[in-house]
C-alpha cells in the first residue's frame, strides 16, 4: 500500500510526502507518483508520531479504580488483589481500549509491562501498533521461584514468531523489591544472549531507596550495577531518587530512562531532577505509565506536565523547552526503542500524524511545536500513520464502538 500526502506543511515548507513499503520514500515540493491513497494535506501539518516508553496498557480497565493513594499501599491493598482475577481476555480488551486512546492522541508505539501479555500482543497486532510487549516477572524476592518463573518466560517468548516484526517481546523484572537477585541476573544474562531489551521500575520512591540500603547495603542503581544488570538494553522507569554517583553509573552503562511525570506527581513519588538528568547525558524518554496511575495515556499531556514540572522544580523557566520535550516524545523515544523512526525524512520508517492547523488549540499559528507541547488536545490530530499504514483518518478508527463496549464488559466481569 502506498500513500501520497499532497502539499502538507513540513517545517516551514509545503511539500508532498510519499510513503511506500513502510518508509518515507520521497519528500519534495511536487511528487509525481501514483499512490493507492492520496490525502489532501493543505489543512494539515505533518509531524512525527509519539513513542510511549512505559505503559501498563491493560490497566485501562482499572482507570480511576483506586485514586489518591500512596504507591506501596496502592499496589498491595488495591491493585495486586484485583489483578489476581485478571484473565488473558481482560488483558486483550483492556489493551485494545488503551491502543484506541493512544492512537487518538498520536502514539504509534508503546513499551508495555503486564501479566498475561499475549493478550496485549494480540491487541497491538490487530490494531496496527508497534509495541515492545514485556513479560512481567515477580518472584516476591524468593530465588527458589526463579527457575519456574523463567520457564514461563520461555513459553511466552516461544510465541514471538507468530507476530509481525513491529511486535517484539522483552523481559520485565518488576522492581528490586519484588524480584530476587537470582532472577535479576538471569534476566540480564538471557536478554543479552537473545538480543532482547529489559524493562524495569527503579528508584521510584524514597521507601524503595531506604529498603535497598537496608537489604543490599547499596542504593538501587548501585545494587543493580553490582550484579551486572545495567546496560544499553535496559529501560529504567521513573528514576526519581538518584544521586550524582547513580546518574554517573546510568550514563556510563548507557541505560535509557523513561520519565513518567504525571504518574510521579499523582502518586507523590518525589521530585524528578530533570535538569540534572539532562546535564548528565543519560538518554531520556517519556512514558505515560498505566491508566490507573495517570489516568490518561495521552503523550500530549505527558509532554506538558514534563516541561512544567521541570520548570517548577528548577525554578527556571528555560528548563525543558518545548522542542526538547517534543523530541523526547518522538525521535528520542524511537531511538531508545531501536527504531529508525521519529522524524519525517526519506528512508525513515513511516510513523507520523497529520494535525489540523486550524484547530482552536493550535491558533494562533506559527508556533506549532510549542502549541503541541503546551496547548494541543488530541482532537487536533486528524490522521495517524504507523509503519506506512493509516490507523486513524478523520479521527475515525475502525471498530471504535465495539472496542469501547467490549472493554466496559471486561471491566464489569473483572470486578463483579
| Cα dist from 15 to 27, 149, 259, 346, 358, whole Å | 7, 52, 34, 13, 18
Dihedral in degrees, nearest 10, Cα atoms 196, 168, 272, 324: 110
* Spatial CA neighbour of 360 closest among 374, 373, 376: 376
> What is the residue whose three cell numbers read 518522538?
330
* C-alpha to C-alpha distance for 248 and 281, rounded to whole angstroms: 9
Dihedral in degrees, nearest 10, Cα atoms 83, 84, 85, 90: 40
For the segment 212-245, what is each residue's pLDDT rounded down to a tens digit?
A: 999 999 999 999 999 999 999 999 999 999 999 9
| Cα dist from 334 to 77, 132, 256, 327, 354, whole Å | 36, 12, 12, 10, 18
Give the per-residue pLDDT at 191: 97
Omega before 75 within 30 of 0, i.e. cis: no
Helix, strand, or coil (residue 194): helix
For the segment 168-219, what is each residue's pLDDT rounded down to a tens digit?
A: 999 999 999 999 999 999 999 999 999 999 999 999 999 999 999 999 999 9
Rounded to an integer, the average pLDDT of 327-344 is 98
* C-alpha to C-alpha distance for 397 and 11, rounded to whole angstroms: 27
Helix, strand, or coil (residue 3): strand
* C-alpha to C-alpha distance for 304 and 374, rounded to whole angstroms: 5
> What is the residue whose three cell numbers read 516551514?
12
> In the structure grid, which three cell numbers stand for residue 8, read together?
502538507
Give the per-residue pLDDT at 70: 87
Rounded (5°) CA angle 220-221-226: 100
Q: Are residues 299 and 285 in contact, defined by beta-carbon separation less than 8 angstroms? A: no
> What is the residue whose three cell numbers read 489543512?
43
> In the structure grid, which three cell numbers stand for residue 279, read together?
546535564
This model's pTM is above 0.85: yes
* C-alpha to C-alpha distance for 95 and 46, rounded to whole angstroms: 27
Domains of the chain by range and CATH? 2-48+351-400 (2.30.40.10), 50-336 (3.20.20.140)
* Spatial CA neighbour of 290 closest among 102, 77, 128: 102
> In the structure grid, which three cell numbers stand for residue 408, read together?
466496559
* C-alpha to C-alpha distance for 94 and 60, rounded to whole angstroms: 6
Q: For the chain, what is the mean pLDDT? A: 97
> What is the residue whose three cell numbers read 520521497?
26
Above 90 in pLDDT, residue 71?
A: no
* C-alpha to C-alpha distance for 135 and 153, rounded to whole angstroms: 7
* Spatial CA neighbour of 5 closest among 22, 21, 24: 24
For the segment 84-143, what is each residue's pLDDT rounded down to a tens digit?
A: 999 999 999 999 999 999 999 999 999 999 999 999 999 999 999 999 999 899 999 999
Above 90 in pLDDT, residue 415?
A: no
Give the per-residue pLDDT at 416: 84
Amino acid at each position: 500500500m502506498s500513500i501520497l500526502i499532497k502539499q502538507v506543511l513540513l517545517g516551514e515548507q509545503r511539500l508532498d510526502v510519499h510513503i511506500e513499503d513502510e518508509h518515507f520514500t520521497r519528500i519534495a515540493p511536487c511528487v509525481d507518483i501514483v499512490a493507492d491513497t492520496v490525502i489532501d494535506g493543505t489543512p494539515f501539518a505533518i509531524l512525527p508520531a509519539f513513542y510511549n516508553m512505559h505503559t501498563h496498557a491493560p490497566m485501562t480497565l482499572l482507570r480511576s479504580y483506586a485514586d489518591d493513594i500512596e504507591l506501596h499501599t496502592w499496589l498491595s491493598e488495591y491493585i495486586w488483589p484485583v489483578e489476581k482475577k485478571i484473565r488473558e481476555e481482560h488483558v486483550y480488551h483492556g489493551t485494545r481500549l488503551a491502543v484506541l486512546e493512544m492512537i487518538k492522541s498520536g502514539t504509534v508505539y508503546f513499551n508495555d509491562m503486564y501479566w498475561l501479555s499475549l493478550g496485549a500482543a494480540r491487541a497491538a497486532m490487530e490494531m496496527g501498533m508497534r509495541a515492545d510487549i514485556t513479560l512481567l516477572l515477580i518472584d516476591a524476592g524468593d530465588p527458589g521461584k526463579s527457575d519456574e518463573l523463567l520457564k514461563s518466560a520461555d513459553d511466552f517468548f516461544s510465541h514471538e514468531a507468530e507476530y509481525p516484526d513491529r511486535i517484539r517481546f522483552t523481559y520485565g523484572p518488576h522492581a528490586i523489591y519484588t524480584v530476587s537477585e537470582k532472577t535479576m541476573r538471569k534476566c540480564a544474562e538471557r536478554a543479552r544472549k537473545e538480543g532482547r531489551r529489559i524493562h524495569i521500575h527503579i528508584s521510584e520512591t524514597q521507601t524503595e531507596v531506604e529498603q535497598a540500603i537496608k537489604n543490599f547495603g547499596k542504593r538501587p542503581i548501585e545494587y543493580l550495577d553490582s550484579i551486572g544488570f545495567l546496560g544499553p538494553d535496559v529501560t529504567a522507569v521513573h528514576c526519581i531518587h538518584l544521586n550524582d554517583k547513580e546518574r554517573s553509573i546510568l550514563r556510563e552503562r548507557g541505560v535509557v530512562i523513561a520519565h513518567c511525570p504525571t504518574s510521579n506527581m499523582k502518586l507523590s513519588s518525589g521530585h524528578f531532577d530533570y535538569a540534572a538528568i539532562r546535564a548528565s547525558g543519560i538518554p531520556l524518554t517519556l512514558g505515560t505509565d498505566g491508566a490507573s496511575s495517570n489516568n490518561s495515556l495521552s503523550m500530549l499531556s505527558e509532554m506538558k506536565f514534563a516541561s512544567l514540572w521541570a520548570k517548577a522544580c528548577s525554578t527556571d523557566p528555560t528548563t525543558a523547552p518545548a522542542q526538547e520535550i517534543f523530541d523526547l516524545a518522538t525521535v528520542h523515544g524511537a531511538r531508545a526503542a531501536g527504531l529508525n523512526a521519529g522524524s519525517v525524512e526519506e528512508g525513515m520508517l513511516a510513523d507520523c500524524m497529520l494535525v489540523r492547523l486550524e484547530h482552536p488549540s493550535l491558533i494562533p499559528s506559527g508556533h506549532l511545536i510549542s502549541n503541541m507541547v503546551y496547548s494541543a488536545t488530541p482532537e487536533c490530530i486528524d490522521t495517524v500513520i504507523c509503519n506506512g499504514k493509516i490507523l486513524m483518518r478523520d479521527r475515525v478508527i475502525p471498530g471504535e464502538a465495539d472496542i469501547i463496549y467490549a472493554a466496559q464488559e471486561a471491566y464489569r466481569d473483572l470486578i463483579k
